[in-house]
Structure 1
Amino acid sequence: MSKEQISTLFGLMLEYIPNTMKIFGFTLLYSIPLGMIAALLKMCKFKPISWLTNVYILIMRGTPLLLQLIVAQYAVPYIRMASGCPAPIRDFLNSIDIKTDSYTFNMILVAFVLNYAAYFAEIFRGGISSVPVGQYEAAGALGFSKTQTFFRIILPQVVKRVIPASSNEIITLVNDTSLASAIPYMEVMYIAKKQVPTYASLVPLFMAGLFYFVFAALLTLLFSYIEKKFNYYK
């Protein structure tokens, strides 16, 4: 490929980087708090709630994200055609325009958020469980309520403990955003695959790979800095 072709290709990919960043950013925005909620529900003493949460986590972690993306994308049209679908639900689904980019993005986001929330739930649950029980008892003796104990004493320690595992999931998310190209969704990897036959070259794929590598490397440096900041006992 000539320099002009590479420059043109680079400019084209830059146009679609925001779409990839949207998947990454919104997934983190929603999956982290949902993961914390799921972690608390899994630790709930009311067995039906903890059991249902366990089933959700098992399904999300036990099936491929790509499969979940495909199910999310095509669930609405197939439910529409189901003979046993109640009329109110069918009417609501018929009002959804499945041909728009916003529908595709929303379905991708649903799959990503539910998947990553399950992984974050296990990370957060492990972090909460690692805090000694004595700290809860000490907080109660000092007059702290359960809410105050969690947010003022437990949660800051959990954040410190889960940073390494969470950073690994977040960096993995960078590469997983490329799975959206299978739907298809107009993001970096999708554009790269479309340009391979146009230029009869693998350079577009290498350029896409470079983007993911640089993004992951920057996040690695960021989390290394954050981990050092939270190592206040060293």
Structure 2
Amino acid sequence: MAAPLTRREAKQRTRKRLLDAARKLILAGGEARLAASTVARQAGVAGATFYEHFRSRDDLVKALSNDLFDELRAELGKRRHEALAAPGSEEKLRQEFRTPLEILAASPDLFRLALRVRHHPASPLGDSSRRLAGNTRTDLVTELVARGYPHDGPGERRRLEMIADIHIAATEVLALGYLSGRYPDLDEIVDMLVLVTRGTRLARAWRGRGATTPAADAAPVPDRHSAAGGLASGRSLNTRLTT
């Protein structure tokens, strides 16, 4: 027979039930249709119990979105650190690009909702979505600095933020393409995300618009589907260009 729950454990379990119920309701009908009474009913608790855990509906939505987005940022950070710790590892580099795609694909409704509300200033979920995008930008800039990209002046820092935004936008757009079936091959999407870094690599040596392009960066990209190129050779080239 299981031991009875402590008061703290029971309270944590009820809070989780409320958060789980809110997530289901948000994904089914959107944030605007969420109400404290509806969440309590979905969770199977009394209406007054809701206010023992959250001050308001917005407080609940903020707690839910913070939990979800903090988990996402932590997982992305883990993969980023693994890639930095093994700069010559093609597998680690590709996994860094694959992880956000897999996470977004695992929660497609939440991903689409986060994109929809990102520019809604009054939305607690939108606020968390914007915070995640900003934190991800900061994390990517930190990674680029660790990889040796120039960052001393304001112009160089600005370019690093542009590079980070390019990666964020490309990941989100390609994830949507994967979910819609337009881009069904996840490995091919990862190939493209790795290739995006090919152009941004020039920022390491860029000190102005007059900078010349190294001959290596002018080389054609192997056709992933050709008999001569193949996926393996394409990945090897990508790794040399991005490490």
Same fold? TM cut 0.5: no
TM-score by length of 2: 0.29
- Flag the structure with higher helix content: 1
TM-score by length of 1: 0.29
Q: Between the two structures, name the one with larger relative contact order (CA 8 Å, sep ≥ 6).
A: 1
